Amino acid sequence: MVGEINSGTDGLSSGRCFLFRLQQNGSVANQTILSNGIGGLPANTLQEDMRFGASGASLGDLDEDGLVDVVVGAPSHYYDAASRGSIYVLFLHGNDTVKEVSRVSQAAGQGLDNLPVTLT
């Protein structure tokens, strides 16, 4: 997974994420771009300058459908009175496009210890 935080396919510089599937010899077997309206990510999911793709990790198979899921950080996501950041849990199809999105954010006045997922 590689993020490109100052780019976007929508002209908003919201950021985007590249998912790469590698072959055993390290060459790229498949590439999927995730951005607003691209790769199964619904249009208007991302906002300008939110730095989507600044971090990311595999979660394993979180929803137990046999397919790997990922999490992508957007540390400058503005959704409240301040820029607090969000993480996006992306449940993937077998072709690495997005099946479902779940945004996890800090609720106003609460610490990040209250998030319902733990990243390792």
Q: Which of 99, 37, 34 is nearest to 68 (CA)?
A: 99
Distance CA 35, CA 12 (A): 10
CB of 97 to Ca ion, least distance (A): 13
8 A C-beta contact, residue 52 and residue 17 = yes
Closer of 61 and 80 to Ca ion (Cβ) = 61
Nearest distance from residue 59's CB to Ca ion, in Å?
8
* Nearest alpha-carbon partner for 70 in 52, 46, 47, 48: 52
CB of 1: closest distance to Ca ion in angstroms?
15
Where on the chain is the footprint of Ca ion (CB under 5 A)? Answer: 61, 63, 65, 67, 69
Name the β-bridge partners of 104: 87
